[in-house]
Amino acid sequence: MFLDHSACCSVSSDRIHRHNRVRNLLDRICHEGLLSPVMEKHRLLGNVYGRRPGDVTLPVWRANKGLAIDVAVTSPYGYNLPRKEPCENYAESKKHAYYDKDFKGTAYEFAAMVFETTGGVNAEGLELLRQLFRFAAKHQNLQLSVYCGRAWARLSCSLQSSVSQCFLNRAGSEAAIEKDIDFVDLNF
């Protein structure tokens, strides 16, 4: 039986929990780097209702500008299936296309950090993580390689355990199992 659908299903709150676990871990890494992160900063774009692009916001990043990091987790299954690089496509089409224009002329830069449920991360997110790991390693008085190994392990375990929880939650429902069996061609 295949439960791939549970990794991208939007019916339950599993996607929100998965996102929040990764966001919280990113916030912790920024705290370890003494970057004074603000999680879910209010009015980042002024009095704009319903737009919250800064899952983790760093008040000072470079050139006297802050950085708003928007975290997302996407699945290569579902609508991303035909795409060669699902997290890159998601970062450009869903995050940058939606928020870039709103950050022009503000005190913040915008960065999209998009993970795939299978473990990939977009190039922009990867470069940002590398920089954050450098800050954190320095302020935790650890060798960069030691800190990076531990940080990647924490990110990977957090992401994969939340994906596993999606599978377990979905597998617990007999109706969901029957629905997933319908997607499988048993006459291979």
pTM of model > 0.85: no
Q: Domain limits of the chain?
A: 4-182
Token pair for 8: 């991208």
Please give the torsion angle defined by the CA atoms of residues 74, 78, 81 and 86, in that order, rounded to the nearest 10 degrees. Answer: -10
Per-residue pLDDT of the chain (188 residues; tens, 9 = 90+): 344 444 444 445 667 888 899 999 999 999 999 999 999 988 787 766 666 788 999 999 988 899 999 999 988 876 656 667 888 999 999 999 999 998 998 899 999 999 998 888 999 999 999 999 999 999 999 999 999 999 999 999 888 888 777 767 666 654 544 555 444 444 43
Residue 9's pLDDT is what?
47
Helical segments of the chain, H only: 14-32, 86-90, 97-103, 123-139, 144-171, 174-182
